[in-house]
Structure 1
Amino acid sequence: MDAVATQRAYGGVSAEQRRAQRREALLDAALDIVAEDGQAKLTVAGLCARAGLNERYYYESFQHRDGVLEALLDRIAEELTAAIVTALTGAPPDSRAQAHAAIEAGIAVLVDDPRKARAALIAGMATPELRARTARTVRAFARLVAAQGTGFYGGEVPRQLVDFRAIYLVGGLVQTLTAWLAGDLELTRDELIDQVTDVFVLLGDDLADRYRPTPDRANQ
């Protein structure tokens, strides 16, 4: 095997796959450190030691220390999106079932592995840049909610009103989940999911009812 081939594959694993594996190992290590000790304890040396990698491999994937936090937040957001979309696809076609399935799936990602909720809350507020990134992520989830609502209720509702309620709902959910995880809300997990579902359905159905075609409106 020549040098180029050796670089391309070693032990049946390509160089690109090895880089991806090292990146995932660094993200896993960052998740552990932030969840256990907080963002202040996250250093390149400590991260690489935790991942069992030479420090030079950090800069193979990330340009600065916050780079791993940005990637970690993105990975958690991607897991949330995938879980929510899968839940919506398998849920019955009524507003409550759809909302309940999506909320249950999203909360499961964060609660079944408590490190993810803690890391997202800590890392997402660590610096102005990460706070801005978190705000963009909230808006992205709001767009997902708005798109789902528009597809479910139809296109009669003005888009700006759909967007407003979607941002309100997602932002409120983030604050509610933060309070619940901190022990400030005395609700079981199932009660939390049901209460959040009630709010989503209430605001969604109310807006749809206001703009649902009626004989009186059709004649105007």
Structure 2
Amino acid sequence: MSGRNPAPRRSYGGRSAEERRAERRGRLLAAGLELFGTRGYTATSIERLCATASVSTRNFYEEFTGREELLTTLHRTVNDRAARAFATAYTEAAKADLPTRVHNAVHAFVSVTATDPRWARIAFVEVGPTLDRYSQWENAIRTLIQDAVTRNEAPPRDYTLTVIAITGALTALIHHWSTQNQTIPTDQITTELTTLIVKALTPTP
């Protein structure tokens, strides 16, 4: 039995349905970044998101189950980018001393999360109930500390509380910058965090 040839997918304006859908999704992500990153998650309705993105409510629900999934997508995007930048910078400075490795990694983290106040707010302020903004950074700091111990730059001991303290400082400083004082130079944030981390790992004479 011969089958029918599938009907060709329609294109409008030279764009396929997939391309148009990807474009709509991109506009929704951009609208989420702008509105969640300025007005805030609780102050932003789906209707406002759709109006800003110039899409219908039906189109919205084709891409996301609700506002929280959109926020989660943006949150993971910025934190994944920051984590990759942190890890890459630390690895590239593998032959350097501890302060240099830490500085480069922290600078990469700050450059991603604190360059745009909207991304900083989404990463560390507008966090939904199912999001964990700490675990990823706890793992990164724990890896950094273990490397320092292996190199005999830090003494072997239980660093559980140190990891929590450093992670808290890391996120709190970016939170403060994004919500209270964006006039603080990001290089100053990098320096403060680098000093804090190195002092926490370096034995007191």
TM over 0.5: yes
**Which of residues 136, 159, 162 in structure 1 aligns to 2:159?**
162
For 2:101 and 2:32, the matched residues in 1 are separated by 33
In the alignment, is the contact (CA less than 8 A) between 1:142 and 1:163 conserved in 2? no
1:149 pairs with 2:148: no
What corresponds to 1:111 in structure 2? 114
TM-score by length of 2: 0.79
Name structure 1 gaps, 5 residues minimum.
125-129, 211-220
Cα distance, 1:201 vs. partner?
0.9
Cα distance, 1:4 vs. partner?
5.2
1:201 pairs with 2:203: no
Cα distance, 1:199 vs. partner?
0.9
1:172 pairs with 2:169: yes
In the alignment, is the contact (CA less than 8 A) between 1:84 and 1:105 conserved in 2? yes
> 1:32 is matched by which residue type in structure 2?
E
Name structure 2 gaps, 5 residues minimum.
none
Higher helix share: 1
> 2:72 is matched by which residue type in structure 1?
E
1:66 pairs with 2:63: no
For 2:147 and 2:7, the matched residues in 1 are separated by 51
SS of the residue 1:157 aligns to: coil
1:88-133 per-position Cα deviation (integer Å, ceiling 9, x unaligned): 2322532111111111111111222111112334411xxxxx2451
TM-score by length of 1: 0.74
What corresponds to 2:135 in structure 1? 139
| Greater relative contact order, per chain length (Cα 8 Å cut-off, separation 6+) | 2
Taking a change above 3 Å as real, the CA distance of residues 181 and 41 of structure 1, as seen in their structure-2 partners, is closer
Taking a change above 3 Å as real, the CA distance of residues 181 and 48 of structure 1, as seen in their structure-2 partners, is closer
In the alignment, is the contact (CA less than 8 A) between 1:35 and 1:119 conserved in 2? yes
In the alignment, is the contact (CA less than 8 A) between 1:143 and 1:163 conserved in 2? no
For 1:82 and 1:148, the matched residues in 2 are separated by 14
> 1:170 is matched by which residue type in structure 2?
T
For 1:139 and 1:23, the matched residues in 2 are separated by 28
SS of the residue 1:6 aligns to: coil
1:84-123 paired onto structure 2 within 5 Å: 84-91=86-93, 92-123=95-126
Across the aligned residues of Structure 1 and Structure 2, the Cα RMSD in angstroms comes to: 3.1
1:119-130 paired onto structure 2 within 5 Å: 119-124=122-127, 130=128
For 1:122 and 1:105, the matched residues in 2 are separated by 20
In the alignment, is the contact (CA less than 8 A) between 1:34 and 1:122 conserved in 2? no
In the alignment, is the contact (CA less than 8 A) between 2:113 and 2:174 conserved in 1? no
> 1:154 is matched by which residue type in structure 2?
T
For 1:171 and 1:111, the matched residues in 2 are separated by 16
Taking a change above 3 Å as real, the CA distance of residues 56 and 89 of structure 1, as seen in their structure-2 partners, is same
Cα distance, 1:52 vs. partner?
2.0
Q: Percent identity?
A: 23
